[in-house]
Structure 1
Amino acid sequence: MRGVGWATGYVLGLAALAVSGAWVWWQAEPEARGTEVNALWARHQWVGERHTEEEYRTLGALLRQNRITDVYFHAGPFEADGSVPPRKYRNAGDLVKAMRRHAPGVRVQAYLGQIRKVDGRGLTDLDVPRVRDRVLETDRIFLDLGFDGIHYDFEPIYPDDTAFLTLLDRTRELTRSRGRLLSVAIEQPTLVDAFQPVYRALIPRGHGARPVHYPPRPTEEYLRALADRVDQVAVMTYDVSLPTESLAGWHFAHHTEQVLRLIGDRTTVFMGVPTYRPLMPWAEKLKVALKGVRRGIDELERKPRKPFGVGIYAEWTTDASEWAHYRSLWLPSRSDNLHD
């Protein structure tokens, strides 16, 4: 029993050191400022319901004031066969036209996704060629309606998912032929790729004919493969579930540095930051996330060659005070741009 007590005390001591070290690290203010290339996930009602001209005007003003360059308007989700019923996007054409009037220059993308079928669980099975074909037919519908791009959010995506890479290859052929964009939302990467054997042993993925054991997070290799196939990668960095601001801030800083170092020269990157109410709202909040992203940028040896910014999740949960924090903590001043 004494040995168990010593071991427990040792573990608790290490945890206390980690927490105190993170707190000390967190006190310094970041030097990096934010950027003017930023994204926003927007609710389905914009695509599925009618809106007044004043509502469109207000949305456009919000996007311009906060220098949002890309909006992912939820337009799905996909059905099992890769289609989207027309009733779900009956207002899509009017939305695109309204954004041209009230937010010219903002890229309006169709946000499409579904629970990816894996080992018998989920809905849309991307391993089936005819399903991928139908997804592409659906993409064409939204591009024909005037959307500037297709934004995929299929979950879960595991780092052996070659069918998803095939879908990205074919979708990019389509979007490039139309002069449009392809973007993808993806989970935050694994903290340490070398832990994959441990994940495989301890975390079962499923119980199908070919069960695989590891979490649905991209490895470095898979993240690069994604980046080489799309115009934008939006990393869903939120859902941290860490109990203090300093630990949550370290999470955002670490992933920002890691992702921008790995793919920042390959594609535009948006680091997802939350405005919804997560499991631990006292720690994971917009102010903490923005400071963490800036700290991560500070850790880079040089800035990426491609544009980068943050992706705000989500339009329907962001209140006026959070938009004010975003502008003050993230957006560079206009005078900063004059000296770049």
Structure 2
Amino acid sequence: MWARHQWVGETHTDAEYRAFGQLLRENRITDVYFHAGPFEADGTIPPDKYKNAPALLNALKAHAPGVRAQAYLGQIRKVEGKGVIEIGDARVQEEILRTDASLLDLGFAGIHYDFEPIYPDDTAFLRLLARTRDLTHARGRLVSAALEQPTLEDGLQPVFKALASRTGTVRYPPRPTEKYLRDVADLADQVAIMTYDTQMPTQALAGWHFAHHTERVLRLIGDRTTVFMGVPTYRPVTGWAENLEVALRGVRRGVDDLPRAPRRPFGVGIYADWTTSPAQWARYRANWLTPAT
């Protein structure tokens, strides 16, 4: 589950922590990506932004032992002069890694990156991911990454890029190719696919979207890394068919379409804690969780 910044940035009562811990246990959440950024352009994060992280981490040990709390970090990438951060800059990477180390020192179980956009020729992100893996694994922690859903057809990506170049825009789809998805999976302990925002006009199409990407992603990298398929609990700005139940049914159908189960763990990623009502949590349990054994 992706969680709001207030958990690390603001103080909370023990009753709030206790209720949050109960929610995590009841819904069998294994990992929470607590927003602790975003990065500044130089790769730093002012410590005041995550001043409540020690209290949060201590509370989780008491009220939700076993749940991994990861620091959710990201920023808008610079692409052809647009954006905030240039992660290919050696000095910026060093600052990012120093920031990561500071957050691990506080007790976070891992580092979760959500840099956007990430294009399939982005070697800078792969270098950063490899260095972060070295940092986290040396401490017995995790590194995870959020990516957009893969391309529908890898061969079309160069065409989109060429068209964008001719029209003077950088907004061609930032979708990972099969190779790039595998490259990321080989460097990350977990990959979360941001499958939401489908903009589909019917529930049948939205369900197909989640089923197709679930089957494809798990077939491509389900033996290499833990995979979470992102599902929405918010009302989309565009499109009217996407919702939590449609997404969960689609993910289940995608899993059923696999010739065999992946060798690594897999599940769904709730986006997000601040948009999920008690009624939606009930629907999540009814549509996704199986009885505990």
- TM-score above 0.5, yes or no: yes
Query: Is 2:73 the counterpart of 1:116?
Result: no
C-alpha displacement at 1:264, in angstroms? 0.1
What is the match of residue 291 of structure 2? Answer: 333
Secondary structure of 1:203's counterpart equals helix
* 1:138 aligns to 2:138 (yes or no): no
Any conservation in 2 of the 1:96–1:146 contact (CA below 8 Å)? Answer: yes
CA-to-partner distance for each residue in 1:33-82, whole Å, 9 max, x for gaps? xxxxxxx0000000000000000000000000000000000000000000
Contact 1:205–1:214 (Cα < 8 Å) also in 2: no
Q: Mean Cα displacement is larger for which, 196-205 or 133-142?
A: 196-205
Q: Structure 2 residue aligned with 1:88, among 46, 49, 58?
A: 49
CA separation of 1:262 and 1:92: change in aligned 2, threshold 3 A: same
Give the Cα–Cα distance (whole angstroms) in 2 for the partners of residues 254 and 280 of structure 1. Answer: 21
Q: Which amino acid aligns with 1:76?
A: G
Deviations 1:159-205 (A, max 9, x none): 01111100001000000000000000011100111222331233349
Q: For residues 206 and 109 of structure 1, do their structure 2 counterparts lie closer, same or farther at Cα, with a shift above 3 Å needed?
A: farther
Alignment correspondent of 1:250: 208
Conserved 8 A contact 1:150-1:181: yes
2:250 corresponds to: 292
SS class of match (1:186): strand
Deviations 1:108-142 (A, max 9, x none): 00000000111111101011000000000000010
CA gap of 1:48–1:212, structure 2 versus 1, over 3 A, is closer
Say if 1:118 and 1:206, in contact at 8 Å, map to a contact too: no
Question: Is this contact kept in 1: 2:200–2:240, CA < 8 A?
Answer: no
CA contact (8 A) 1:204 1:213 kept: no
Q: Which is higher, the Rg of structure 1 or of structure 2?
A: 1
SS at match of 1:235: strand
- Residue 3 of structure 1 corresponds to none
1:183 corresponds to: 144
Q: Please tell me the residue identity of whatever aligns with 2:7.
A: W
Q: What does 1:34-113 correspond to in 2, within 5 Å?
A: 40-113=1-74
Could you say if the C-alpha distance between residues 205 and 212 of structure 1 is closer, same or farther in structure 2, counting changes exceeding 3 Å?
farther
**CA positional deviation for 1:86:** 1.1
Partner of 2:90 in structure 1?
129
Unaligned runs of 5+ in 1: 1-39
Higher relative contact order (CA 8 A, sep 6+): 1
Q: TM-score, length-normalised on structure 2? A: 0.97
Instruction: Output the amino acid matched with 2:42.
Output: D
Q: What is the aligned residue count?
A: 293
Residues 1:200 and 2:158 are matched in the alignment:
no
1:21 is aligned to none
The structure 1 residue matched to 2:113, chosen from 147, 152, 155, is 152
Cα distance in structure 2, aligned partners of 1:206 and 1:93: 48
Give 2:126's match in structure 1, choosing from 148, 155, 165.
165
Residue 230 (structure 2) aligns with: 272
What is the CA RMSD across the aligned residues, in angstroms? 1.4
C-alpha deviations, 1:292-312, integer Å up to 9, x for none?
000101110001000000000
CA contact (8 A) 1:205 1:212 kept: no
1:267-286 CA deviation, whole Å, 9 max, x = no partner? 00000000111034631000
Do the aligned residues in 1 keep the contact of 2:228 with 2:268 (CA within 8 Å)?
A: yes
Q: How far apart, CA to CA, are the structure 1 residues paired with 2:242 and 2:163?
A: 27
SS at match of 1:272: strand
Identical counterparts, % of pairs = 69
Deviation for aligned residue 1:206? 8.8
Aligned counterparts of 2:139 and 2:190: Cα–Cα separation in 1: 16
Unaligned runs of 5+ in 2: none
| Cα distance in 2, alignment partners of residues 126 and 200 from structure 1 | 21
Q: Which TM-score applies when normalising by structure 1?
A: 0.84
